């Protein structure tokens, strides 16, 4: 990559730099101006290539993912590193390198009016464990599992790729039980940020172990000043979400639903005594709704929720395993109606699923709210599957060759 210009900005403890690159890979000067999207859709598919080192993913694009195929061979934009995570916000596609504790590169892309995905900004940021879209910003959280008692919150301007503010939160004081609060994710709820956390020891050779396996917590922060307003507590299930996994979903009417895998451990043994379940916070409140409890483990015959993808109309797609804490093995897909507390296994799914595309940044819902897409990697190949929400079925769409699907999202241009 040929660097034409570069300058450094030190702000809020993060070192940022931006640079222009070769013309084929970046927007021309005239394209940096904002333009009114015309309602056209482009899907961004990230796929980890087979048999390579030093390449996290390729960014592939498609106008339609209902059929056909796309390959990593000779296509896409290379994302270096061993692991990356992605976020789409304000017409930008962010590719964040997980730096293994060190600062990681962040590349920002846009679509031109012709539908070409091009790099617009390149900067470095601290490696974070939580990333969320809040108002016009990205909220990034660096959450130490031991040692340092402060989590660092960074507010990033999504349009300008610069720091708008930083906040330190003492996670030992937040837990208030001798352990530390480890945020699993963050979600904008109205004008606040809900941040569920797990209570962990953070020491003693058992950093993620806990003496409190049967409680749920959500820290409520004001925004943008990130003042801790309160902690919502419950003891009907275990902590909400999983490490680096979004446990919350906000429905169209503003109600908030959170799932628990009931997978807390102590000395590497699963010790949760409560079921894997879904709980609720009603719109405009900051308390768990004690009249609502959805025992998904019971309805599924013993399966536990590993992750979720909220779709539309109170319907949520669940990724489930028959063992606590599992993220590989016998993965099954289920559809639940959150309000009516109904459960059904998804029909048409592959018998064996190795992995799925990341649900936290999947925004592929159709305009009419009837369908969405998800990437499923199987022993026989990797496909994007179309989800029929009302029928609770999935069907094969585009095949992705030469790589494992890690994420799929759509952008409007």
Residue with tokens 């241009």: 413
Question: To the nearest whole percent, how much of the chain has pLDDT over 70?
Answer: 91
Cα torsion through 134, 139, 145, 148, rounded to 10: -130
Please say whether the beta carbons of 80 and 54 come within 8 A: yes
> Is the pLDDT assigned to residue 218 strictly greater than 50?
yes
| pLDDT at 178 (0 to 100) | 97
State phi, psi for 331 to the nearest 5 degrees: -80, 130
Please say whether the beta carbons of 261 and 238 come within 8 A: yes
Per-residue pLDDT reduced to its tens digit, 155-170: 999 988 888 999 999 9
- pLDDT tier, 331 (very low <50, low <70, confident <90, very high otherwise): very high
Specify which residues 257 forms β-bridges with.
249, 280
| pLDDT at 33 (0 to 100) | 55
Ranges 9-18, 104-113, 324-333: which has the least confidence: 9-18
Average pLDDT, the chain: 89
CA dist 59 and 78 (Å) reads 7
Per-residue pLDDT reduced to its tens digit, 240-264: 999 889 999 999 999 999 999 999 9
DSSP 148-194: --EEEEEEEETTTTEEEEEEEEEHHHHH-SSSEEEE---EEETTEEE
- pLDDT tier, 22 (very low <50, low <70, confident <90, very high otherwise): very low
> Is the pLDDT assigned to residue 223 strictly greater than 90?
yes
Q: Would you call the peptide bond into 224 cis, given omega within 30 degrees of 0 as the criterion?
A: yes
- The answer for residues whose C-beta is within 8 angstroms of residue 402's C-beta and 6 or more apart is 47, 49, 50, 71, 72, 73
Cα torsion through 189, 123, 92, 369, rounded to 10: -50
- pLDDT tier, 2 (very low <50, low <70, confident <90, very high otherwise): very low
Q: What ranges in 8-71 are assigned the alpha helix state H?
A: none
- The answer for residues whose C-beta is within 8 angstroms of residue 37's C-beta and 6 or more apart is 91, 412, 413
């Amino acid at each position: 990559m040929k660097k034409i210009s570069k300058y450094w900005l030190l702000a809020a403890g993060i070192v940022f730099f931006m640079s222009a690159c070769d013309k084929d890979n970046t927007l021309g000067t005239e394209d940096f101006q904002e333009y009114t999207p015309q309602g056209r859709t482009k899907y961004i598919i990230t796929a980890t290539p087979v048999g390579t080192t030093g390449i996290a993913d390729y960014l592939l694009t498609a106008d339609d993912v209902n059929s056909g195929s796309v390959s990593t061979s000779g296509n896409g934009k290379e994302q270096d590193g061993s692991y990356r995570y992605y976020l789409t916000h304000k017409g930008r596609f962010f590719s964040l390198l997980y730096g293994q504790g060190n600062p990681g590169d962040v590349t920002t892309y846009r679509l031109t009016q012709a539908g070409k995905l091009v790099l617009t900004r390149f900067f470095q940021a601290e490696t974070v464990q939580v990333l969320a879209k809040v108002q016009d910003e990205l909220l990034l959280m660096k959450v130490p599992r031991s040692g340092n008692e402060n989590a660092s919150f960074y507010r990033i301007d999504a349009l300008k790729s610069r720091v708008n503010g930083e906040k330190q939160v003492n996670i030992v004081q937040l837990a208030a039980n001798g352990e530390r609060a480890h945020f699993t994710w963050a979600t904008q709820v109205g004008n606040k940020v809900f941040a569920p956390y797990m209570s962990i020891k953070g020491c003693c050779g058992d950093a993620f172990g806990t003496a409190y396996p049967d409680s749920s917590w959500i820290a409520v922060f004001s925004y943008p000043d990130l003042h801790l307003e309160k902690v919502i507590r419950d003891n009907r299930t275990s902590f909400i979400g999983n490490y680096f996994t979004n446990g919350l979903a906000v429905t169209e009417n503003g109600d908030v639903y959170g799932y628990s895998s009931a997978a807390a451990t102590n000395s590497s043994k699963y010790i949760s005594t409560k079921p894997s379940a879904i709980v609720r916070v009603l719109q405009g409140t900051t308390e768990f709704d004690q009249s609502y409890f959805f025992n998904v483990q019971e309805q599924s015959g013993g399966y536990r929720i590993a992750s979720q993808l909220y779709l539309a109309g109170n319907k949520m797609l669940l990724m489930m395993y028959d063992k606590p804490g599992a993220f590989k093995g016998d993965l099954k897909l289920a559809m639940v109606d959150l309000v009516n507390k109904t459960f059904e296994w998804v029909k048409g799914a592959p018998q064996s699923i190795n992995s799925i595309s990341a649900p936290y940044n999947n925004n592929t819902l159709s305009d009419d709210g009837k369908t969405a897409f998800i990437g499923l990697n199987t022993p026989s190949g990797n496909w994007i599957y179309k989800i029929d929400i009302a029928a609770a079925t999935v069907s094969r769409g585009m095949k992705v060759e030469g790589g494992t699907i890690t994420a799929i999202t759509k952008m409007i241009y």
